[in-house]
Structure 1
Amino acid sequence: MTDGNSADVGAGRTTSRRGFIIKSGVAAGALTGLAGCSSVLGDSGSSNTITMVLTPGTPADARRRYKPMQNLIEGEVGVDVEMQVPQDYSAIRPALESEQAEIGMDDITLISNPDLMDVYGTTVTGGSAFYFSMMVTNPDSGIDERTDIEGKTMAFADKLSTSGSIFAVYALKEAGLDVGDAPSGQPVDFEGSWSNHDIALEKVGNGEADAATTWGGNGIPHIAEDTELPDRVEEKSSFLDTMETETPRFRPFWWSFPIPKQPVYARATWDDPAKEEIGNVLLNSDQDLIEQYYPEDYNEEELPFTTLADTSMEEYEPVIMRLNDLGIELGE
């Protein structure tokens, strides 16, 4: 989808050009306690450089994972691409609004103001445009279901991570636990900590947390090959071939339904022929093409992108519903 999603903002709702509704509370206010963008992204570089903001994580790891995508854009379009890794999700939208960045790739920023972005599509890896939120614990922890988290400690990723926080907090609430003001505040029935996907797993591994939530691409490598998986995970996860490739070993006890993978979008105010060219390259990429842009010693299991699926805001309605239910207001 190269025409993007524009929106008319009225009292209590935001309606996209395609008619999908973002309920009141999503596009106004700010989630407190999160950093701004100026000190995170810094100077975006020269006017000849396109800045692409990755999702928060360990900078070296994130840049390595997306290196084939960077190489693809540079090689096929003939532009320079600089990859920036913010400290948290709240830094991404200000970077786009202040024109420090041209391209982003997270659903939370897109949902916060669809009128700010022109959407290229949803990332596809291993033939699937979906991924999963999952909860894991140590094999001998005695935690078998969500209600067992009561009185325990749960490690989450970034407060605004779809899989690492929002879906998990909602799932615990749905199970009957009192989540209090989480993720913006502390839950009541259990203790929560928020960081990033990698640190959340580290906390379980070193005994700082009883359980953690993360996304499938990060958690599946830590589970045993003989783990019994739900049918939906067997059918739609593109990370099953990574099972039992990382340590320590964890045991999953909850999986979400399939969540659309992250969108890739460009800021609407970016006026450059390269904008449309990049969209066409990403939408028409395939495994054979992206493999030509692997750096040396690249492990294709790391790859978070093969091509883009042509999608719209409708696919992200489950995320919007959870944001509304948890009272999360995304900053202006």
Structure 2
Amino acid sequence: MANRRKFLKTTGAIGTIGLAGCMGGGSGGETTTASDTTESGGGDTTEGTETTTAEKMDFQNGEINFNVSPSVAQERLQAQYQPIKEYLSNEFSVPAKLKLANNYSAVIQALGAGTSDMAETGPFAAALGVEAGKAEIALQRKGYGSWEYKSIIVAADEVDVSSLDEMKTYVQNNDTTIAFADRLSASGCLFPLYDLKKAGISIGDLPEGSGSNAAFTPNFSSHTGAYETLKNGQADFAGMGGFVPGLQDDFDKHASVINEHTGLPRAPIVVSPQLDEKEKTALVDAFTGAPDKIYLGKDGKKDTDDDLWFNAVRKIGVEEYQPVIDAAKELGVGTDYFGN
């Protein structure tokens, strides 16, 4: 139990390389292996780009492996991240591979094992990964005009509830199912559970346990998966990132927001602790010095379907994710989440 309750610390960021100083799929938080889906030796997205490193770097496997946690359909992720893959390959003159993971845990495990060099992930997974020694926070992403975002709890259209107090009464009197995103999602699981607990709704041993002792039945998938579960009548409530309503044409017909948790730090980009300091620095500098077109997707055009949700990055450390760390402490989540 002592190990299970080991709290996160605000150490382990990439301070040693001069840094100043958040979306998941899969269920149950199980560790799964990220799969290679595509690779590149270069592309026309970054034509004219020259290698800026003083010497050629081999990274961990003679290639750059960039992991992506699925927050939308994988076929869209392919198009969205294609320019990043091509840019990295051209920048370092080594093959770049884009790996799509089943969940956040798979991303952190790959970074810790050295099979991934860099990855985008959620704030909760990143902070926990830092404490476990499996990841180092390097960059924060900016999206929709802000470095912050929000977590929401929504009620199904047929559920007559408009607040957490009313939700507490509903849960006490009904067999209730609540849908969540990945167990390691900050906005889709950690903060919804945090707010439920604060409202007096028993969450049992969640998010680490099965939730069999909670006052409700949990259902885990992804952000959009949680909404679909609610929409299809399989859940009474759902916790998800505040960006989900904007992705759905008919959200207001099927759900209503009953709680918002604002001010969450947007999701980071992390690097593997297995990289040497030159490689970490080079990857971070490549992103901060990248052209804007790496955010425009495969078609290279602004405001089209394959644009990335973020359009800028900044160097950052784990201390910026203190709200996430505090919530994890409150829920008693420890580094044993990832095993030994």
- Judge conservation of contact 1:147–1:177 (CA < 8 Å) in 2: no
The partner residue of 2:299 within 295, 301, 324 is: 295
- Judge conservation of contact 2:245–2:251 (CA < 8 Å) in 1: no
Distance 1:64 1:246, change over 3 A: farther
> In the aligned structure 2, how far is the partner of 1:89 from the partner of 1:16?
20
Q: 1:257-282 CA deviation, whole Å, 9 max, x = no partner?
A: 22111111211222486643331232
1:215 corresponds to 2:202: no
> In the aligned structure 1, how far is the partner of 2:28 from the partner of 2:308?
32
1:180 corresponds to 2:204: yes
> In the aligned structure 1, how far is the partner of 2:311 from the partner of 2:93?
19
SS at structure 1 position matched to 2:332: coil
1:156 corresponds to 2:184: no
The partner residue of 1:254 within 232, 255, 259 is: 259
Distance 1:139 1:44, change over 3 A: closer
- Judge conservation of contact 1:285–1:306 (CA < 8 Å) in 2: no
Residue 99 of structure 2 aligns with which residue?
Answer: 84
Distance 1:204 1:155, change over 3 A: same
Give the CA deviation at 1:140.
4.6
- Judge conservation of contact 2:81–2:298 (CA < 8 Å) in 1: no
- Judge conservation of contact 1:159–1:194 (CA < 8 Å) in 2: yes
SS at structure 2 position matched to 1:165: helix
> In the aligned structure 1, how far is the partner of 2:34 from the partner of 2:183?
17
> In the aligned structure 1, how far is the partner of 2:298 from the partner of 2:138?
22
Task: Using the aligned pairs only, state the percent identity.
Answer: 22
Which ranges of structure 2 fall in alignment gaps of 5 or more residues? Answer: 1-5, 16-26, 40-59
Which ranges of structure 1 fall in alignment gaps of 5 or more residues? Answer: 1-10, 21-31, 223-243
1:41 corresponds to 2:55: no
Residue 141 of structure 2 aligns with which residue?
Answer: 123
SS at structure 2 position matched to 1:91: helix
What is the aligned-residue RMSD (CA, Å)? 3.3
1:112 corresponds to 2:128: yes
Give the CA deviation at 1:316.
0.9
Moved more, 40-49 or 316-325: 40-49
Q: 1:269-327 CA deviation, whole Å, 9 max, x = no partner?
A: 224866433312322346x4446664267726852221212322121111111112212
Q: 1:95-148 CA deviation, whole Å, 9 max, x = no partner?
A: 112211101222334323435444321011233111111122334531211233
- Judge conservation of contact 2:156–2:255 (CA < 8 Å) in 1: yes
Question: Where do residues 186-265 of structure 1 align in structure 2 (5 Å cutoff)?
Answer: 186=211, 188-222=214-248, 244=249, 249-265=254-270
Residue 52 of structure 1 aligns with which residue?
Answer: 66
Residue 49 of structure 2 aligns with which residue?
Answer: none
Q: 1:210-252 CA deviation, whole Å, 9 max, x = no partner?
A: 1211112223333xxxxxxxxxxxxxxxxxxxxx577865322
SS at structure 1 position matched to 2:141: strand
Residue 114 of structure 2 aligns with which residue?
Answer: 99
Residue 11 of structure 2 aligns with which residue?
Answer: 16
**Aligned residue type for 1:264:** I
**Aligned residue type for 2:127:** I
Distance 1:72 1:261, change over 3 A: farther
- Judge conservation of contact 2:298–2:306 (CA < 8 Å) in 1: no
Distance 1:69 1:13, change over 3 A: closer
- Judge conservation of contact 1:134–1:219 (CA < 8 Å) in 2: no
> In the aligned structure 1, how far is the partner of 2:259 from the partner of 2:334?
26
**Aligned residue type for 2:77:** A
> In the aligned structure 1, how far is the partner of 2:78 from the partner of 2:299?
12
The partner residue of 1:279 within 284, 300, 304 is: 284
1:324 corresponds to 2:329: yes
Q: TM-score, normalised by structure 2?
A: 0.72
Distance 1:290 1:136, change over 3 A: same
**Aligned residue type for 1:41:** S
SS at structure 2 position matched to 1:308: strand
- Judge conservation of contact 2:109–2:134 (CA < 8 Å) in 1: no
- Judge conservation of contact 2:138–2:271 (CA < 8 Å) in 1: yes
Residue 142 of structure 1 aligns with which residue?
Answer: 160
